[in-house]
Amino acid sequence: MQFSVYQQSHIGGRKTNQDRMGYSFTRDALLLLLADGMGGHRGGEIAAGIAMQTVGMMFRVQARPYVKKPERFLEEALLQAHHDIQAYAMAHDLPELPRTTVVACLVQHNCAVWAHCGDSRLYWVRRNQILARTRDHSHIEYLIERGRADPLERATHPDRNKLYNCLGAPTPPKIELSARAGLQPGDMLLLCSDGLWSMLPDSEIVHRLSGAGGVVSAVPEMVNMAAAVGGAQADNTTALGIMWQGADAAGDGEPNVISTQMLAEDHVSTTIIAAEPAPGEADGFGEDDIEKAIAEIRAAIEKSSQLLK
């Protein structure tokens, strides 16, 4: 595989950054992942961190060197993340369940499939056109779908921030899966939190992604632009983008391009790491608590991997 990739996050005008992002890849598979902790519930950053760790660990277990059933993997991984968030809340006797939105994409064999819960989005762009975009699990989208609201109200409707689907809530999440998308060299995939898409129209996102610099230029441009538009009240703004080159493409030394051709079959590279909030960002959770939760998740997934062998 060969692809270029760039990720960036901006805290905006908030006291904490509850967004998490990262990617993992083997010789034949690439996982893209973004979670946006829900600020209206205590511990959103914890929920986002646990979701990242759970899905990332399950990818490490099952990508040997590719995932045999990608749709099943995404559905099971997000459900496991949901259960892990709830288990953490119960183990630590939290007053309420921490929650997060999530969008995950698995790319292998020149095909992409993605899953999401909430309003973290994925865009698939080819030659200045959006071929697909996730549909937000929000009340405004529900109204638009039923003809009770105008699409132009997405940015102004009073219910635009009301979500009916996420990880960690008392009710099980409804995981929406895409059809498999056949990728061509030059295709772009962008995962982003609502802090980005709520500030920039789709036309601007496409324009930036279609620029000469690709995702390496487009991602920081869009993140900084969204933060500037939001000003002092700007939400956390996070984006992760790739430009696909192909499953069989060989590396040619281009800067900012990753080639996996020479990786060993059991090798996994990742940017998904345990979240360690800066001082004052833990919202009542200490680093020891976070590390303990991550260790518990890792142990559970390692145990399940032994059963799969």
CA distance 65 to 204: 36
Low-confidence ranges of the chain (pLDDT < 70): 40-41, 155, 250-255, 274-309
Contact 118, 166 (CB under 8 A): yes
Read off the pTM: 0.87
In degrees and rounded to multiples of 5, residue 121 shows phi and psi of: -110, 160
Q: 7 forms bridges with which residues in the sheet? A: 240
Report the pLDDT value the prediction gives residue 277, as an integer from 0 to 100: 39
Report the pLDDT value the prediction gives residue 278, as an integer from 0 to 100: 35
Angle made by CA atoms 85, 98, 230, in degrees to the nearest 5? 125
DSSP state at residue 153: G
Q: Give every CB contact of residue 172 below 8 A, 6+ residues apart in sequence.
A: 79, 82
pLDDT in tens, 137-182: 988 888 888 888 877 777 677 777 789 999 999 999 999 999 999 9
> How many CB atoms neighbour CB 94 within 10 A?
17
Report the pLDDT value the prediction gives residue 295, as an integer from 0 to 100: 58
Give SS3 for 20: strand
CA distance 122 to 134: 6
Quick one: how far is CA 73 from the chain centroid?
Answer: 15
Cα maximum dimension of the chain: 54
Report the pLDDT value the prediction gives residue 69, as an integer from 0 to 100: 97
Report the pLDDT value the prediction gives residue 250, as an integer from 0 to 100: 64
Q: Mind listing the domains of the chain with CATH numbers?
A: 2-308 (3.60.40.10)
Report the pLDDT value the prediction gives residue 139, as an integer from 0 to 100: 84
pLDDT in tens, 211-233: 989 999 999 999 999 999 999 99
Report the pLDDT value the prediction gives residue 148, as an integer from 0 to 100: 83
Closest by CA to 171, choosing from 145, 137, 141, is 137
